[in-house]
Amino acid sequence: MKPSSFVYHRPTTIEEALDLLAEIGSDGKVLAGGQSLVPLMSMRLAAPAHLVDVNRIDGLAGIQTDVDGVRVGATARHADVEHHEAAYAAVPLLRQAVKHVAHPTIRNRGTTVGSLAHADPSGEMTAVLALLGGTVTLRRRGGERRLAAGEFFVGPLESAVGPGELAVEAFFPRSAPRSGTAWAEVSRRHGDYAVCGVGAVVTLGEDRRVGAAKVGLISVGPTPVVVDVTDAIVGQSADAVEAERAGRLVMDTVDPDADIHATAEYRRHLAGTLAARALTEAAARASERAA
Amino acid sequence: MKVTGSAVLHAPRERVWSALQDPAVLVRTIPGCQQLEQVGPDTYRATVLAGVASIKGTYSGDVRLTDQAEPDSFVLHASGAGAPGTVNADVRVTLADADGGATQLDYDADAVVGGVIGGVGQRMIVGVAKKTAGEFFAAVDDVLTGREERILREPSVATGTAPEVFTAPSRQRAPMSAAEMSSAAITGALIALAGVVLGWLITRRAQGRPR
Amino acid sequence: MTDVHELALTVNGVPRTLRVPARRLLSDALRHDLGLTGTHVGCEHGVCGACTVLVDGRPVRSCLLFAVSVDGSSVTTVEGCCEPDGSLGPVQQAFWDCHGLQCGFCTPGFVTTITAYLDENPEPTAEEAREAIAGNLCRCTGYQNIVASVLRAAEIRREARV
Amino acid sequence: MSTRTMGEPIARREDPRLLSGQGHYLDDIGHTALAAAFVRSPHAHAQIVDIDVTDALDVDGLMAIYTHDDLPDRLAEPLPLLIPHPSLTHGRTPYALAKDEVNHVGEAIVMVVAADRYLAEDACDRIRVEYEVLPPVVGIAAAREASRLVHEDVPGNIAATMVQENGDAAAALAASPRVLELDLEVERSASTPLEGKGVYARWDPADASLRVYSSTQASTSVRAALAAKLGLPPNRVEVVAPDVGGGFGVKIVHPWPEEVLVSWAAITLSREVKWTEDRREHFVSSAHERSQVHHVRVGFDDDGHLLGLEVSFWHDNGAYTPYGIIVPIVTATQLLGPYKPAAYRVEFQSLYTNTVLVTPYRGAGRPQGCFVMERVMDAIAAELGFDRAEVRERNFIQPDEMPYDHGLIFQDGRPLIYDSGDYPATLRKLKKLVGWDEFGVYREQARAEGRRVGIGIACYVEGTGVGPYEGGWVKVETDGSVVVATGLTTQGQGHQTAFAQVAADILGVQLDRVSVVTGDTRRFGYAVGTFASRALVMSGNAIAAAARKVRDKALRIAGDALEADPRDLEIIDGVVQVRGVPTSAIPLSTVAVLSNPLRYAFDTESARATQFALPADPDKPPVPEGEQPGLEATGYYSPPRATFANGMHAVVVETDPDTAEIRIVRYCVVHDCGTLVNPRIVEGQVHGGVAQGVGGALYERMVYDDDGQLLNASFMDFLMPYSTEVPTIETDHLETPSPLNPLGIKGAGEAGVIPGMAVFASAISDAEGFPITRMPISPSELFHLRRAHEEATNR
């Protein structure tokens, strides 16, 4: 398991990188964390003629928080996001979810924006982006576009990033007041891909009762699935949410596939169970924050 | 690996047949199909550019037809081999009249995915194969319903690239998913090839038939 | 087509330069180009953790990095976890005290991982110790004595400080 | 005695080297060697139509490309069938490189040798193999159905059929007041050591000698196999097992195709050649184990006593049988555990499938046998409404019945006779350790809280230390240090320490004065290998025998020097002295000097042994009749038959009522492997075994699809447990010395893994209220079993 040869490029500015990507087109790949690309290349399932290493580009590694939310740069590592206190304060779900991404050693190198661009339907951060209504900014030579999750996640392992484009930033909107979030997941081994994972956002009304509730799921479809379950729990007391109906709603919505670790039916069952758990926890957190 | 699916083509069966007779249409509607040449009776060699992102590869695919029951069904035996692995698929394709003058196309594929790909990933292969095949039939439908321009402007998903895809750290299992994409795309393309061969088949028969 | 690069690394505190093709994995560069064979390769797809080294102080899988991409970085391997006089460092000593290894093949990855972990979490509980090593595979020990080694290493480091 | 180390939890002496990155595993040596890589079959069953290497020829650094056509006579023949057996009527072994046909995904077809592994893989990528794909046989059901054949000349895919019977089981069953039938299944798993296989070969043309380093469990046998295959005199071949990164059985098989091919290439190219197996290769081209389907009929009385037991099982041996039918024979015999059915009949078929070949993996058929027998015990308890431990106790062989003859033939071709063991005592300790009698209350409390907890128990007996023999060589150097060598190999069992403890105690020297060499044919040529929990039993006793000879000789020589009766002498901390008279003493180093009469002095020590220094009887030869110079000796140990260790495990699990996740609450082990030489090492062996038992019960399986593709050929999907999946293990020991060997030792290497599947099946059944009959089990499977059980009970 050794990679094929390639030409290595190490731009130091975004412009340089975009020019390179434009010239190379579909013959090259961007190397940031490389936690997926490198084993792919070692297995010789990937043999790009060019690698563009973006790790030395200034200004791509940052994590900024402002009134709107959290902006994560292209080379910011999962570990940076996990340990960023301001980001946690603004968008608690980021830390709640990223802790489930593989193991710390992988999070030390792997990038959050990269995992979004990878668009693995089992990647926690895809559901976080979709659930929170975040966006990804794509730059190409002489142009830029900003896509919401719906447009960005095209299919399993397919994002909208095109040839010559570089995903430079992911934006996660700040959690609303009186809202709470939670992440629930079942994986075979600690740190493995989720058999099913669910993120939940619950927002309370002035009356401290559930006003709105949504869940985002991974590993149950070709792209992250978001289900609005407000109708199922609206008006309930935040401290004692009866989330079973919401869970059933989720089960009826998702259409998972089977793999060697779990049947489709078990995944569907987990989707409901975990959604209920995540909603209950999120509601409790919302009520704490509202207090 | 079993892949079954169906597509409703919004045209009467005659127009579906005739559209499928036009290799020019087929080659540009089949994800990744670069060329198709006849190398013997009911036997063809196809070159398919399949895969996603980094793991796109050119596969030489051999295609053989059996059990032809014109105009209802036939079985396509297709095999593709490339560096990342091998795919052998038996695809049964059936056509039937559907409501509103449309045509119902059903395919039922049994594919063997071998080599490295076979060993490192099955997680999403069925879904992706369905997706790729679905794109083919959607593209054909676009032709039939005059929406071809749209599909021609957009890159085929099976061959679409996403430079950042592999910066993703999300999990150790990520590479296998990508691997699955490749094999799935091949399978999808092979399924799609059924349409091509069907088209050629009909062309040959049509030529031999007095009008 | 070979794309060869001249690299400068600081390995275990020693400046090293090497010429390697772009595709040379850091694990292979350390083992075969620099002769530091303490870093082991168990899977080459980032799951087992045997190849874990510290790049600028952070544990990473050396089999998931191209050597060229860490040009200019400082790398610490298991050899670099020894004391300056070559005697065993705290984590290594703890593994010896607690029978934390059997065949020893996965051990270097544990030693580097735990060394970095204790820098940030000097007083882990048993449960935290188990979590800390959860990204490394060992086929021999059943981990029980490795967990004990983490706690023992923390103890040794505390003793050293007073 | 101050130097006594036997029975002490001595810290391992090999550790500092391994901990500081100074170990030398196979790929840590031979950096200048050429690298080999292989083109392997992507198909489970296919004819090779054509191999086209043209595109590979212009790869930089390419040295050679070999296919079967290039192999000389003996190399072109199939690899040896290592363990023939009369019942193995249709044994088949692979070719070093596939000839015409491939029978599993991963079978080697082409070997490439190039300047480095990167380049070798570049060349492999460019080699095109054309196949005619054949329908594969995958799984035991397909193999039994035999509508397709793996080997055209093997009817019914049956490699072997074997029957053993003790008493008239059929009659006993017919006469039994109660009879139960069970169908029990175990899936595939594998050893998967962290270091894969590897070979590094050096040919010395001037000396016409071959030096091979291999990550093997049997270096002397690899030497014999290579000499035979390469047509070299054995004394021109040396095989060294360097540090080995785990074996667990897979590395006992030999010669692997790569061992033969790399050595041959080194000779042919007259260059150093190395092959380091990568992880994917290890999954698809080494060996697996475990897959068996069992049908059981058991007859018993109303008190739960076993009257008759009939077991039929089908063993999936993969595509080839290089290691014979050892695994199913072990299942067939060791299944009985600590129990004594009045009559027993076992029959198995060993079947070919188009999958990776099957050879012993730690436990070697015992985990399956233990799973079967212990499921039977639980079934009887359930049927009679008895306590599960009680039913077991009623069927135990009692200490006063030892030695106990089962009337069967064991895997070593010798009678299955248990030498010793106190099973009731082991059970008492376990019940106390886990709190067996109090668990019922806890279970009910948990149920009341809507939680599902269960406790499981499993007992096993393990035949360890099988023959034929091992040897040991011990020498006291003139500086008083002691060198020990034995032929078998080490893969992390701490032989450097345990073997040294044996020698140090007998010779009365400090442990740090003793060094140990294993697995190096240059140092000791006669050996069998490290497997079947035999290393310490065999080599330990052999080294002890050699050490005693050396001690006797030392006392004799010291007696002459001290003018004392050797019987009055003792050795303390390397000094021979008259018992109770420390002033009358002579260092062992001096005795070593005196043991080798010299003409020439090269230092002050040796000067004391020269001809004018020694007070000698002019009428006697300097070296007495029948003696040799030097303070060294060789000893061998060859037991009449295996010695039988035993143990019992209990586990407490909690299963999530919603997600069906299985959490391990407690894991308890009571273990009896006779005299403990180093309790710390034994403990470590038990821990490691339990972890593999957890893996085999809850996580690890080789998933083949119907086309013979291994779907999880990586650590991403073959779920070897991390620390977070393995519980804290509580252990207790019994020491029932074996009467068969002087040290009273029984083996401990495999013990921990044996009851894994059985004990988890027992506990999960207890938590869920329905029997578990197939292992391993995942949450997804438990979820569906619950569904099925609910439907069945609602009907």
Instruction: Report whether B59 contacts B52 (CB < 8 A).
Output: no
Rounded Cα distance between A32 and A77, Å, is 9
H or E stretch covering B153? helix B148-153
ipTM: 0.92
Instruction: Report whether B87 contacts B112 (CB < 8 A).
Output: yes
D737-792 confidence digits (pLDDT tens): 999 999 999 999 999 999 999 999 999 999 999 999 999 999 999 999 999 999 99
Shortest distance, CA A270 to any CA of chain D (angstroms): 6
Rounded Cα distance between A217 and A246, Å, is 13
Write the CA distances from B78 to B88, B111, B156, D677, integer angstroms.
Answer: 6, 9, 21, 63
Query: Predicted confidence band at D469 (pLDDT cuts at 50, 70, 90)?
Result: very high
Query: Which residues of chain A neighbour C72 with C-beta distances below 8 Å?
Result: none
Instruction: Give every CB contact of residue A206 below 8 A, 6+ residues apart in sequence.
Output: none
A229-241 confidence digits (pLDDT tens): 999 999 999 988 8
Query: Predicted confidence band at D364 (pLDDT cuts at 50, 70, 90)?
Result: very high
Query: Which residues of chain A neighbour C61 with C-beta distances below 8 Å?
Result: 35, 105-106, 109
Of D739, C44, D228, nearest to A1 by C-alpha is: C44
Rounded Cα distance between B184 and B178, Å, is 10
Of A12, C131, C101, nearest to D493 by C-alpha is: C101
Written as one letter, the residue type at C22 is A
Instruction: Report whether D507 contacts D5 (CB < 8 A).
Output: no
Tokens of C92: 């290594």
- Given a cut of 50, whether residue D24 has pLDDT beyond it is yes
pLDDT at residue B128 in the model = 65
- Beta-sheet pairing, D662-672 with B85-97: unpaired
Summarize the confidence of residues D552-577 as an average pLDDT: 95
Tokens of A191: 């740190």
- Rg, chain D, Cα only: 28
Flag whether residue C69 sits within 8 Å of chain A, measured between CB atoms. yes
Please count the other Cβ atoms lying within 10 Å of the Cβ belonging to residue B86.
23
- Given a cut of 60, whether residue A17 has pLDDT beyond it is yes
- Given a cut of 80, whether residue D12 has pLDDT beyond it is yes
Angle at D632 between CA D627 and CA D634, to 5 degrees: 90
pLDDT at residue C37 in the model = 98
The domains of chain B, with CATH numbers, are 2-164+172-203 (3.30.530.20)
List b or e across C24-39, with b for residues whose CB sees 16 or more CB atoms inside 10 angstroms: bbbbbbbbbbbebbbb
pLDDT at residue B207 in the model = 37
Tokens of B140: 């054909």
Of the listed ranges B177-186, C87-96, D240-249, D625-634, the one predicted with least confidence: B177-186
Written as one letter, the residue type at A258 is A
Contact A157 B165 (CB under 8 A): yes
pLDDT at residue B69 in the model = 76
Query: Predicted confidence band at B199 (pLDDT cuts at 50, 70, 90)?
Result: very low
Contact B169 A26 (CB under 8 A): no
% of residues, chain D, pLDDT over 90: 93
Tokens of A228: 């609005």
% of residues, chain C, pLDDT over 90: 96
- Beta-sheet pairing, D729-734 with D662-672: parallel
Fold of C90-161: DNA polymerase; domain 1 (1.10.150)
Rounded Cα distance between D158 and D150, Å, is 10
Query: Predicted confidence band at B145 (pLDDT cuts at 50, 70, 90)?
Result: confident
Tokens of D788: 């099925």
Q: Tell whether omega for the bond before D468 is within 30 degrees of 0, i.e. cis.
A: yes
pLDDT at residue D15 in the model = 97
The alpha carbon of D722 is separated from its chain's Cα centroid by a whole number of angstroms, namely 22
List b or e across D124-154, with b for residues whose CB sees 16 or more CB atoms inside 10 angstroms: bbbbebebebbbbbbbbebbeebeebbbeeb
Which residue do the tokens 């040009």 mark? Answer: C71
Tokens of D733: 């020991």
- Given a cut of 70, whether residue B20 has pLDDT beyond it is no
Contact C134 A103 (CB under 8 A): yes
- Given a cut of 70, whether residue B178 has pLDDT beyond it is no
Instruction: Give every CB contact of residue D304 below 8 A, 6+ residues apart in sequence.
Output: D380, D381, D384, D386, D390, D391, D394, D395
| Surface-to-core class of residue A99, CB atoms within 10 Å of its CB (0-12 exposed, 13-18 middle, 19+ buried) | middle
Rounded Cα distance between D198 and D262, Å, is 10
Rounded Cα distance between D200 and D27, Å, is 8
The domains of chain D, with CATH numbers, are 32-134+191-285 (3.90.1170.50), 292-466+640-794 (3.30.365.10), 467-637 (3.30.365.10)
Summarize the confidence of residues D294-303 as an average pLDDT: 98
Flag whether residue B115 sits within 8 Å of chain D, measured between CB atoms. yes
Q: What is the DSSP string of C108-130?
A: HHHHHHHHHHHHH-SS--HHHHH
* More confident position, B167 or B133: B133
**If you ran DSSP here, which 8-state letter would residue C103 be given?**
S
Nearest residue on chain C to D13, alpha-carbon basis: C96
Q: What is the DSSP string of B7-50?
A: EEESS-HHHHHHHHT-HHHHHHHSTTEEEEEEEETTEEEEEEEE
Contact A266 D660 (CB under 8 A): yes
Of the listed ranges B162-171, B197-206, D61-70, D105-114, the one predicted with least confidence: B162-171
Query: Predicted confidence band at D209 (pLDDT cuts at 50, 70, 90)?
Result: very high
- Given a cut of 80, whether residue B122 has pLDDT beyond it is no
Instruction: Give every CB contact of residue D734 below 8 A, 6+ residues apart in sequence.
Output: D422, D425, D426, D429, D670, D671, D672
Interface test with C, best of D194, D277, D690 (most C CBs within 10 A): D194
Q: What's the mean pLDDT when you consider all of chain D?
A: 95
Q: What is the DSSP string of D470-498?
A: EEEEEEE-TTS-EEEEESS--SSS-HHHH
Summarize the confidence of residues D356-378 as an average pLDDT: 97
- Given a cut of 60, whether residue B205 has pLDDT beyond it is no
- Given a cut of 90, whether residue C116 has pLDDT beyond it is yes
Among D688, D714, D728, select the one facing C102 at the smallest CB separation: D688
Angle at D521 between CA D520 and CA D527, to 5 degrees: 95
The domains of chain A, with CATH numbers, are 7-53 (3.30.43.10), 63-173 (3.30.465.10), 179-290 (3.30.390.50)
Instruction: Give every CB contact of residue D119 below 8 A, 6+ residues apart in sequence.
Output: D35, D59, D60, D61, D62
DSSP strands (E only) in D115-218 = 128-133, 158-166, 178-186, 198-204, 209-214
- Given a cut of 90, whether residue D644 has pLDDT beyond it is yes
* More confident position, B70 or A121: A121
H or E stretch covering B74? strand B73-82
Rounded Cα distance between D488 and D486, Å, is 6
SS3 B183: helix
Instruction: Report whether D530 contacts D536 (CB < 8 A).
Output: no
Query: Predicted confidence band at D144 (pLDDT cuts at 50, 70, 90)?
Result: very high
pLDDT at residue B184 in the model = 53
- Given a cut of 60, whether residue B149 has pLDDT beyond it is no
Contact C47 B175 (CB under 8 A): no
Shortest distance, CA B112 to any CA of chain D (angstroms): 7
Flag whether residue B170 sits within 8 Å of chain C, measured between CB atoms. no
pLDDT at residue B23 in the model = 60
pLDDT at residue B159 in the model = 31
Angle at D712 between CA D707 and CA D713, to 5 degrees: 95
Rounded Cα distance between D229 and D227, Å, is 6
pLDDT at residue D260 in the model = 98
DSSP strands (E only) in D82-148 = 101-102, 108-114, 128-133
Which residue ranges does chain C devote to CATH 1.10.150.120? 90-161
| Surface-to-core class of residue C120, CB atoms within 10 Å of its CB (0-12 exposed, 13-18 middle, 19+ buried) | exposed
Query: Predicted confidence band at B40 (pLDDT cuts at 50, 70, 90)?
Result: confident
List b or e across D164-183, with b for residues whose CB sees 16 or more CB atoms inside 10 angstroms: bebbebeebbeebeeeeebe
For the entire predicted model, the pTM comes to: 0.93
Shortest distance, CA D537 to any CA of chain C (angstroms): 19
Summarize the confidence of residues D664-682 as an average pLDDT: 95
Summarize the confidence of residues D653-670 as an average pLDDT: 98
The partner residues of A204 in beta bridges, in order of sequence, read A210
Instruction: Give every CB contact of residue A21 below 8 A, 6+ residues apart in sequence.
Output: A28, A30, A52, A140, A141, A163, A164, A165, A166, B163
Of A238, A251, A260, nearest to D658 by C-alpha is: A251
Instruction: Report whether D14 contacts D494 (CB < 8 A).
Output: yes
Q: N- to C-terminal Cα distance for chain D?
A: 72
Summarize the confidence of residues D162-168 as an average pLDDT: 97
% of residues, chain A, pLDDT over 90: 86
Which residue do the tokens 């990855």 mark? Answer: C109
Fold of C4-81: Ubiquitin-like (UB roll) (3.10.20)
Instruction: Report whether D740 contacts D639 (CB < 8 A).
Output: yes
Flag whether residue B55 sits within 8 Å of chain A, measured between CB atoms. yes
A186-245 confidence digits (pLDDT tens): 999 999 999 999 999 999 999 999 999 999 999 999 899 999 999 999 999 998 889 999
* More confident position, A233 or B67: A233
Instruction: Report whether C102 contacts C141 (CB < 8 A).
Output: yes
Please count the other Cβ atoms lying within 10 Å of the Cβ belonging to residue A178.
18
Query: Which residues of chain A neighbour C27 with C-beta distances below 8 Å?
Result: none
Which residue ranges does chain C devote to CATH 3.10.20.30? 4-81
Interface test with D, best of A270, A277, A280 (most D CBs within 10 A): A270
Rounded Cα distance between A104 and A110, Å, is 10
Instruction: Report whether B117 contacts D707 (CB < 8 A).
Output: no
Of A50, A59, A53, A49, nearest to A17 by C-alpha is: A53
C56-83 confidence digits (pLDDT tens): 999 999 999 999 999 999 999 999 999 9
% of residues, chain A, pLDDT over 70: 100
